[in-house]
């Protein structure tokens, strides 16, 4: 899964491998544009479906299968 395209992550669904606070299912709600025009996107905002809590993470963290699984499992 190391071939993720950050431009295609918007609204993608993810499952936390080790859920905390009943937050298991997440959806990517925003890609954070870099300050430098033309620079690659590095950060995303991911929101927990259960609680609505959001957090900003580097999108490459989603390739770590010890933390994230693609889709809702």
Burial class (CB in 10 A: 0-12, 13-18, 19+), 23: middle
Is 52 among the domain residues? yes
Position 64 pLDDT exceeds 80: yes
Question: Which residues is 14 bridged to in the sheet?
Answer: 26, 70
Query: Which pLDDT does position 53 carry in this prediction?
Result: 97
Q: Which domain holds residue 58?
A: 6-70
Query: Which pLDDT does position 37 carry in this prediction?
Result: 84
Overall domain count for the chain? 1
Which CATH number characterizes residue 53's domain?
2.40.10
Is 1 among the domain residues? no
Query: Which pLDDT does position 2 carry in this prediction?
Result: 56
| pLDDT tens-digit map of 6-52 | 889 999 999 999 999 999 999 999 999 888 888 888 999 999 999 99
Is 54 among the domain residues? yes
Q: How confident is the model at residue 1 (pLDDT cuts 50, 70, 90)?
A: very low
Q: Can you give the pTM of this predicted structure?
A: 0.89
Is 28 among the domain residues? yes
């Amino acid at each position: 899964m190391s071939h993720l395209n950050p431009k295609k992550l918007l609204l993608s669904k993810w499952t936390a491998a080790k859920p905390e606070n009943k937050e298991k299912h997440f959806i990517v709600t925003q890609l954070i544009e870099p300050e430098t025009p033309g620079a690659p996107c590095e950060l995303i905002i991911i929101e927990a479906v259960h609680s609505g809590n959001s957090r900003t993470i580097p999108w490459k963290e989603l390739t770590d299968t010890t933390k994230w699984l693609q889709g809702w499992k």
